[in-house]
A and B are shown apart, each in its own frame.
Chain A
Amino acid sequence: MIAIAILIGCILGALIGVHAPTISYTYSGYLAIAIVAALDSVFGGITSVLKRNFDLKIFISGFFGNAILSIMLTWLGIKLNVDIYLAAIVVFVGRMFINLAIIRRYYIEKWSKKDEAKKETLG
């Protein structure tokens, strides 16, 4: 059911996004950093689902909070003449890799357990 919701959400989002008006190039930098933050939140959410400690409130607040915070940090970085958005990208992408590793391990372990169980039944 959740998978169907994700699929429908993605398809609808793609359709709307393609037909939506474009934004100014000046602000696309902010939008890009917000997208990276949101992606990080999504992978974090998936990890927490696998770890069975998923909390909707934390997920939603992380999704929007991280996006807004990263936009504000980028803006602050431009005002301070420091590329803060680089730090944000490093943190978010690093966390994304960690979460992806956790997800990968989870599924590999699940799959190998299944394999062993099969062998045991055969033996």
Chain B
Amino acid sequence: MKGKITITITIGLICFILTAVMFIQFKTINQTDITSLENMREDELRAEIAKFKTKYEETIVKYEEIVEKQEEYQNTINTDTEASELLDQELKQVKDLLGYNEVKGSGIIITLTDTDKQKIVAEDVILLLNELKLAGAEAISINDQRIVYNSYAADIDNKYISVTGVRLVSPYIVKAIGNRNIFRKWSF
């Protein structure tokens, strides 16, 4: 009888321990967030690390691509700047030719003055201007009146010379900018 009671109590105790431990385990598994990093098993963590490594490598490749592209863009920008500088230069040259710009530089100044014996006529002026142009003058002016591609000179009443519609009288100060040596060699 005594042995039976011991067996009964022992089996009850064993059942008690077993169910208690089982329920603790159920609760633990239920409450644990398996996806959180602290609760991952080692192989899961390893897989995660491998994934991140691949991602990291991919990101590096992408980064390098982007840097390359950036350099390309930078190069394009530089080329564009060069092109625009060239255009600017051309524009300046064209403006110089058209007389829109003030031109500074070395050259010669020729003064034509009427004398008692001789009067300067438009033909003389035209001749001089043509000679200067042939001598390679970049910019020419008479009495600060710029001579451009469509300028003209004409006599008016034998008193004035009209240069592109502006009446000029003696003395005529012709300023030409260009290579001084060539001007000198050119015999006027």
Could you list which residues of chain A lie within 8 angstroms of chain B, going by C-beta atoms?
Answer: 1-2, 5-6, 8-10, 12-14, 16-18, 20, 22-23, 25-26, 28, 31-32, 34-35, 38-39, 42, 45, 54, 56, 59-60, 63
* Chain A interface, >50% SS class: helix
What is B's interface to A at a CB cutoff of 8 Å? Answer: 4, 6-29, 31-32, 38-39
Choose one: A1, A35, A45; the contact of B21 (CB below 8 Å).
Answer: A35
Q: Report the nearest B residue to A81, measured CB to CB.
A: B42
6 closest A-B pairs by CB: A17-B23, A13-B19, A9-B15, A5-B12, A9-B12, A9-B16
Q: Measured between alpha carbons, how far is A38 from B39 in the docked complex, in Å?
A: 25
Cβ of B24: which chain A residues have Cβ within 8 Å of it?
Answer: 17, 20, 22-23, 31
Taking a contact as CB atoms under 8 Å apart, the answer to whether B8 and A2 are in contact is: yes
Q: Of A6, A31, A42, A56, which contacts B25 at CB under 8 A?
A: A31
Given A5-B8, A17-B21, residue A25 in contact with residue B39 (CB < 8 A): yes
User: Which residue of chain B has its CB nearest to the CB of A27?
Assistant: B28
Q: How far is the CB of B81 from chain A (nearest CB, A)?
A: 63
Contact B27 A18 (CB under 8 A): yes
Specify which of A8, A12, A28, A56 is in contact with B7 (CB 8 Å cutoff).
Answer: A56
Contacts A22-B31, A25-B32, A38-B18 hold; do A6 and B23 have CB atoms under 8 A apart?
Answer: no
Q: Is the CB of B21 within 8 A of A6?
A: no
Does A5 contact B19, Cβ atoms closer than 8 Å?
Answer: no
CA distance A113 to B6 in the complex (A): 32
* CB < 8 Å A-B pair total: 99
Query: Distance in Å from the Cβ of A79 to the closest Cβ of chain B?
Result: 12
Q: CB-CB < 8 A to A9: which residues of B?
A: 11-16, 19
Report the separation of the CA atoms of residues A6 and B13 in the bound assembly, to the nearest whole angstrom.
8
Q: B19 to A2, Cβ gap below 8 A?
A: no
Report whether A42 and B18 are in contact in the complex, using a CB–CB cutoff of 8 Å: yes
Docked pose: A5 CA to B15 CA in angstroms: 8
The listed residue with most B CB atoms (<10 A of its CB), out of A1, A9, A10, is: A9
Alpha-carbon gap, A25 to B41, bound state (A): 9
- Please tell me if the beta carbons of A13 and B15 are within 8 angstroms of each other in the complex: yes
The answer to whether residues A10 and B11 also contact, given A28-B29, A31-B25, A35-B25 and a CB cut-off of 8 A, is no
Residue of B with least CB distance to A26 = B39
Tell me the minimal C-beta distance from B3 to chain A in angstroms. Answer: 8
Q: Are B15 and A6 within 8 A (Cβ)?
A: yes
Contact B15–A17 (Cβ < 8 Å): no
CA distance A58 to B20 in the complex (A): 22
A9–B19 CA distance with the chains assembled, in angstroms: 8
Contacts of A2 in B (CB 8 A): 7-8, 11
16 sampled A-B residue pairs with Cβ under 8 A: A2-B11, A5-B11, A6-B12, A9-B14, A10-B15, A12-B19, A12-B20, A13-B19, A14-B23, A16-B16, A22-B27, A23-B28, A38-B17, A38-B21, A42-B18, A63-B14
B19 to chain A: which residues have CB within 8 Å?
A: 9-10, 12-14, 17
